[in-house]
Amino acid sequence: MLVLSRQRDETIIIGDSIRITIVEVRGDKVRIGIDAPKDVTVHRQEVYDAIKRESGGGSNEK
């Protein structure tokens, strides 16, 4: 896993088309903005896990 440090309003680029921007840092919470092409799905981990469970999508191993 790559671990990066960023401050508010700083951005991380993934590939050529995905941008992750730190929008706000408040206490132990961080708000991020994600700009990605429409064909790239973006979910929080717990939502992704629920989708996989509902669709019978196998194990959750990495």
> Which token pair is 11?
């951005």
Buried b (16+ CB within 10 A) or exposed e, 13-38: eeeeeeebebeeeeeeeeeeeeeeee
Report the pLDDT averaged over residues 46-52.
96
Q: What does the pLDDT look like over 12-24, one tens digit per residue? A: 999 999 999 999 9
Whether the pLDDT of residue 57 is over 70: the answer is no
Question: What is the residue-averaged pLDDT of the chain?
Answer: 93
Which sequence spans correspond to the domains of the chain?
A: 11-54
Instruction: Please tell me the predicted confidence (pLDDT) of residue 23.
Output: 98
Whether the pLDDT of residue 60 is over 80: the answer is no
CA distances from 49 to 3, 4, 33, 46 (A): 23, 25, 21, 5
